[in-house]
Structure 1
């Protein structure tokens, strides 16, 4: 994998992790009930993909 590709993969991972943090903050402060649960699950999945992209960019 070229250095330029690794850079973009790492940017995607960083973006997913930042998006996950903002989504979980929004879900916990502004929503209630099942919407909060759904947003929390989506945030967790985004975090997992962000971590995966981070590891791929290192390799």
Structure 2
């Protein structure tokens, strides 16, 4: 597998993490009434958002592939 293709899959995983975190943040703020469940989903959502930000930051700063 080439470096370019590997970077594509890594960035796709980062975007997937962002999408999942958006759904989890929505659920924790508007749909759940249990405080423990709200806290668990919010922690998972924000940790996924941080991980996806680090992934995208890495992909962008690693530069173009040849």
TM-score by length of 2: 0.82
Match status 1:23 vs 2:13 = no
Q: Counting helix residues as a fraction of each chain, which structure ranks higher?
A: 1
Q: Point out the structure with max Rg over C-alpha.
A: 2
TM superposition shift of 1:29 = 1.2
Q: In the TM superposition, what whole-angstrom CA distance separates every residue of 1:16-52 from its partner, at most 9, and x where no partner exists?
A: 0111001100111111211101110110000011111
- Displaced runs of 4 or more, over 4 A: none
Tell me how many residue pairs correspond in the alignment: 59
Q: Distance in 2 between matches of 1:57 and 1:4?
A: 12
Query: Any stretches of 5+ residues in structure 1 without a counterpart?
Result: none
TM-score by length of 1: 0.90
CA contact (8 A) 1:10 1:53 kept: yes
2:38 alignment partner in structure 1: 36
Note the aligned Cα RMSD (angstroms).
1.2
